[in-house]
Amino acid sequence: MYTLTIDEGGRDVSTPHDTPEAAQAALHAYLVFSDYYYQPTQLSAAHAAYELISLTQGQPRVVGVATIEPYTELAARRDLRAVFAAIGPAHALAS
């Protein structure tokens, strides 16, 4: 599993994907929809980071960042703890 995280203007959204290629395709769709371009800032086998660039006002400006990285068991446990902390274990298990 891989996570695509897009942080634009302080709002971050994370989505799970089966492969890094699927995460890359989702990022590309987001860029087309938002009329943005991207510039790689870090590319490795385990992690990719990009700046999101807008050209709408004639000058290129960075409007956000995107990362693609493996979704590890450690991250899954952290997310589960966050859910339990936010809504309580009894409610989380009941839903």
pLDDT surpassing 90 at residue 74: no
How many residues does this entry show for the chain? 95
pLDDT digits over 17-58, tens only?
999 999 999 999 999 999 999 999 999 888 999 999 999 888
Find the angle CA(48)-CA(37)-CA(47) to the nearest 5 degrees.
Answer: 0
- In this prediction, residue 68 carries a pLDDT of 96
Q: CB of 8 within 8 A of CB of 22?
A: no
